[in-house]
Structure 1
Amino acid sequence: MSDNHHELIAALKSSLIGQRYSLVVARNYCAYASGFLDYLGQRGIPVADVIDVHVEQYLRHAIVQFEKQRGRRPSARWREVPRSGIHALLRLVHGQWPPAIKPACEADEVRFSICAEYEIWLREERGLACSSVAALMWEAWHFLAWQIDHGLNGLAVLSVTDIDHYMDLRAPKLRRCSLKSVTERLRALLRYLHITGRVTTDLSGHVLAPTLYAYEGVPSVLDRGQIIAVLESAEKDKSPAGLRDYAILQLLAAYGLRSGEIRHLRIEDIDWRTEAIHVHHHKTRASTFLPLLEPVGEAVLAYLRSGRPSTDVREIFVRTRAPYRKLDKLYSMVRRRLRDAGVQPAGKCGPHIFRHARAVEMLRAAVPQKVIGDVLGHRSTGSTAPYLKLATEDLRAIALDVPGMELVE
């Protein structure tokens, strides 16, 4: 191994330790990264020129070597550790991994330019949230790539027939709700292309979407007994992950918060002296101060004291393994905790079912719809209405009599 390789491995080890990886994990990552550097050196490939193909070629080579040395093939998940170590090395060298895609031709350069301008427009002109921008950009990238792949090199000649062909390609694997979202994202792109003069005619009106009727689908909801069962099951797990999950489930059950609101909750958002919690509603860009309920406060405090790893990250809930950063999602955790408690909702089983349950509980406690909307962080009562359809019997009980109906036999 060259001196440069030794320096890279030493820098990698220092970086991993700085991110609080365990010594065992750091040692394993460095060992696989070192093997990868040896592989590159034997083939005369500078590490600065590495692409995804080289990583996959090395992993296939490593599997062959594993089989020769041990007389058997590695497990299906064996690749994860070598790949993670190699990716950590490449992030150190390249600054990011996977690297940014580079344009391969003039058409690619046009597509990259349009997407870069479109993203700025979505953020600065329309002021959309990051999640909305990401969804719109995904559709833009794929539509423009499809346009190039099908020989439609000029957007100026884009026609309704071309739009129909693209939608025919997207539609078969999508449900009606998802298909409607695709049409809305495609309409936004076509309007932008027309506004900026890249398409002569506004084709957005020709993108047909399926009709979705108000309240046509009833979401899943948990009853109070199921919620208690899930909380009791999670409370028994005293591991760091268990303490974290229990605190998250308490927040879900008590306030019906969105997944993102919990994941972005920061240490300074809880005022222990006044016993209040400051919730930032990223979807509506509003905020709410809620009383810190005792079960929630105790669960969060137990996690902060005994479960949360030492890290500079300000978000309360972080990964249990290095690198310690905020959680990317809650769906898998909620689904696992429901399964462990023996709770099987009829439909979806993500964190949103706790939100539905909280709305129904407040309705049954005679809480006004406006107050329910305020707690849930809604901007209008219309946003709250879909949650209340879950309590059909409660709504029927408070329905007003229709004048004149007493005359009908």
Structure 2
Amino acid sequence: MLKSHDELIAELSKSLMEQNYNPVVVANHRLYARAFLDYLTERNTPVAAVTPSQVDPYFFHAVECFHLRYGRPPSSRWHRLPHTAICKLLRLAQGTWPPEPEIFDPATATRHAICHEYESWMRDERGLADATIDARLREARRFLDWHLGRNGADGLAALGVRDIDLYMGMRTRGLRRTSLASATAWLRSLLRNLHRTGRIPTDLSPHVIGPKLYAYEDVPSTLDKNQIATVLTVTGRDRSPRGLRDYAILQLLATYGLRKGEICQLRLDDIDWRADSLRIRHTKTKACSYMPLVAPVGDALLDYLRFGRPQVDCRVVFIRSCAPYTCMKNLYGMVQGRLAAAGVTPVGKRGPHIFRHARAVELLRASVPQKIIGDVLGHRSVESTNTYLKLATEDLRAVALDVPGSAVLS
């Protein structure tokens, strides 16, 4: 049953209000949606039949109307606001938006089929993590677009070593050694799967040559104790809902050295207030460990849950500070912003992982056994913990041996 325009506007408003959008935002979305529906009415276009090619001309029309009304063109980012409202409206009217593109090109159809099959194999048979699957699929699409675009839909049967060399020669431009090593590993995985499924007659994965990486060749970024204290102090002064949330997250990072996913997946049920313990679901090993809930972390979590967390049914602890109120999925922007606000500029990367390295070094300097450090960090093997040991250079100097004959030379 087709819905009237008034019914769609009412349904859009109800949906936004249920997601706790600000009333001003709801009103703006209604205006943008109504203007788009009026545009469709003038052209006798039913909203259920709208295609992406019909949406783009509307924005040119909307810009002209804006210019006529206000005597100036809108800002370069103005179109994002009506675009969001229109997408939500069309999602209500059509069920899904944007619709799946129609595939007419045989090469594109072949790429879609291979990637779909490859993704299913990685997810169902290999059980790989979503992030790993996404990374391998990006490389697969890039390689298939390059090769099929040059040789057509039937070009895989003739894929050879020369094609691999040409692609890698193009791929190496502008990549660091570590990034190139990852790209070669992902390409090898795709080639093995193409051979496994019979799409190429020979396994070409051994012919993908990448840079040799040496163990512990890169020194990871980290923070010292004074820098961490500064970031926590400055963030702790922000008593807004977002500030309370960020302070609790930073306390978890600094105290336990958790991974991004372990914080984003933390649930209310994982906090045992009576036993003062915290259950951590390690994202890589899929195991659970229990940490003592120390006072600074517990106080920060309590403040956030009482005064900063939006009132939502979701059981995940940390929620976005702006509607729609869903669980957080990324901490990089938050950490970078808090580091900048505190005037802390670490050398190298500036994501949440630098707190993890700092915690590992702190435990090492406290003479904590390497096995226990690995357990705290959720490592599967002791070798995974060795990456962090090279950061404690002062501790390594303290145990250096005397050079024979040094007394004579001096």
The TM-score, its normalising length taken from structure 2, stands at 0.94
Aligned counterparts, 1:217-236, within 5 A: 217-236=218-237
Instruction: Name the stretch that deviates more: 101-110 or 140-149.
Output: 101-110
Indicate the residue corresponding to 1:46 in structure 2: 46
Structure 1 residues without counterparts, runs of 5 or longer:
none
Q: What is the rounded CA distance, in whole Å, between the counterparts of 2:353 and 2:98 in structure 1? A: 32
Indicate the residue corresponding to 1:18 in structure 2: 18
SS of the equivalent of 1:169 reads helix
Indicate the residue corresponding to 1:142 in structure 2: 142
Shift of 1:336: 0.6
Counterpart amino acid of 1:368? P
Q: What is the rounded CA distance, in whole Å, between the counterparts of 2:173 and 2:48 in structure 1? A: 41
Shift of 1:121: 0.8
Counterpart amino acid of 1:159? G
SS of the equivalent of 1:150 reads helix
Q: Deviations over 1:240-263 (max 9, x none)?
A: 100000000000000111111111
Indicate the residue corresponding to 2:104 in structure 1: 104
Q: What is the rounded CA distance, in whole Å, between the counterparts of 1:296 and 1:137 in structure 2? A: 38
Counterpart amino acid of 2:151? G
Indicate the residue corresponding to 1:6 in structure 2: 6
Indicate the residue corresponding to 1:123 in structure 2: 123
Shift of 1:400: 5.6
Q: What is the rounded CA distance, in whole Å, between the counterparts of 1:58 and 1:218 in structure 2? A: 52
Aligned counterparts, 1:304-383, within 5 A: 304-383=305-384
Indicate the residue corresponding to 2:275 in structure 1: 274
Residues 219 and 52 of structure 1, relative CA distance in 2, 3 Å threshold: farther
User: RMSD of the alignment, in Å?
Assistant: 2.0
Instruction: Name the stretch that deviates more: 33-42 or 186-195.
Output: 33-42
Q: What is the rounded CA distance, in whole Å, between the counterparts of 1:52 and 1:137 in structure 2? A: 25
Q: What is the rounded CA distance, in whole Å, between the counterparts of 2:286 and 2:405 in structure 1? A: 46
Q: Deviations over 1:193-243 (max 9, x none)?
A: 001111101011111111222222212211111101100101111111000
Counterpart amino acid of 1:110? T
Shift of 1:97: 3.3
Q: What is the rounded CA distance, in whole Å, between the counterparts of 1:169 and 1:117 in structure 2? A: 26
* Contact 2:110–2:153 (CA under 8 A) maintained in structure 1: no
Shift of 1:59: 2.1
Instruction: Name the stretch that deviates more: 247-256 or 84-93.
Output: 84-93
Structure 2 residues without counterparts, runs of 5 or longer:
none
Q: What is the rounded CA distance, in whole Å, between the counterparts of 1:86 and 1:395 in structure 2? A: 60
Residues 123 and 400 of structure 1, relative CA distance in 2, 3 Å threshold: farther
* Contact 1:152–1:158 (CA under 8 A) maintained in structure 2: no
Counterpart amino acid of 2:149? D
Counterpart amino acid of 2:236? E
Residues 408 and 56 of structure 1, relative CA distance in 2, 3 Å threshold: farther
* Contact 2:106–2:153 (CA under 8 A) maintained in structure 1: no
Report whether the alignment pairs 1:249 with 2:254.
Answer: no
Q: What is the rounded CA distance, in whole Å, between the counterparts of 2:174 and 2:316 in structure 1? A: 37
Residues 179 and 97 of structure 1, relative CA distance in 2, 3 Å threshold: farther
Q: What is the rounded CA distance, in whole Å, between the counterparts of 1:345 and 1:53 in structure 2? A: 46
Instruction: Name the stretch that deviates more: 31-40 or 179-188.
Output: 31-40
* Contact 1:103–1:112 (CA under 8 A) maintained in structure 2: no
Instruction: Name the stretch that deviates more: 84-93 or 2-11.
Output: 2-11
Shift of 1:168: 2.7
Counterpart amino acid of 1:375? V
Shift of 1:162: 1.7
Q: What is the rounded CA distance, in whole Å, between the counterparts of 2:3 and 2:161 in structure 1? A: 60
SS of the equivalent of 1:173 reads coil
Shift of 1:68: 1.2
SS of the equivalent of 1:172 reads coil
* Contact 1:147–1:153 (CA under 8 A) maintained in structure 2: no
Counterpart amino acid of 1:274? A
Shift of 1:303: 0.4
Residues 168 and 340 of structure 1, relative CA distance in 2, 3 Å threshold: same
SS of the equivalent of 1:334 reads helix
Q: What is the rounded CA distance, in whole Å, between the counterparts of 1:51 and 1:281 in structure 2? A: 43
Residues 383 and 95 of structure 1, relative CA distance in 2, 3 Å threshold: farther
Q: How many residues are treated as equivalent by the alignment?
A: 407
Shift of 1:169: 2.8
Shift of 1:300: 0.7
SS of the equivalent of 1:237 reads coil
Report whether the alignment pairs 1:388 with 2:383.
Answer: no
Shift of 1:21: 1.5
Indicate the residue corresponding to 1:300 in structure 2: 301
Q: What is the rounded CA distance, in whole Å, between the counterparts of 1:207 and 1:393 in structure 2? A: 40
Report whether the alignment pairs 1:66 with 2:66.
Answer: yes
SS of the equivalent of 1:344 reads coil
Shift of 1:78: 1.8
Shift of 1:324: 0.7
Report whether the alignment pairs 1:286 with 2:266.
Answer: no
* Contact 2:107–2:152 (CA under 8 A) maintained in structure 1: no
Identical-residue share of aligned pairs (%): 55
Indicate the residue corresponding to 1:264 in structure 2: 265
Counterpart amino acid of 1:226? Q
Q: Deviations over 1:315-372 (max 9, x none)?
A: 1111111111111211111011011111111211111110111011111101111111
Counterpart amino acid of 1:127? G
Instruction: Name the stretch that deviates more: 53-62 or 272-281.
Output: 53-62
Indicate the residue corresponding to 2:56 in structure 1: 56
Counterpart amino acid of 2:213? L
Q: What is the rounded CA distance, in whole Å, between the counterparts of 1:163 and 1:44 in structure 2? A: 52
* Contact 1:188–1:204 (CA under 8 A) maintained in structure 2: yes
Q: Deviations over 1:154-207 (max 9, x none)?
A: 211111222222223322132211111111111100000001111101011111
Indicate the residue corresponding to 1:31 in structure 2: 31
Report whether the alignment pairs 1:159 with 2:160.
Answer: yes
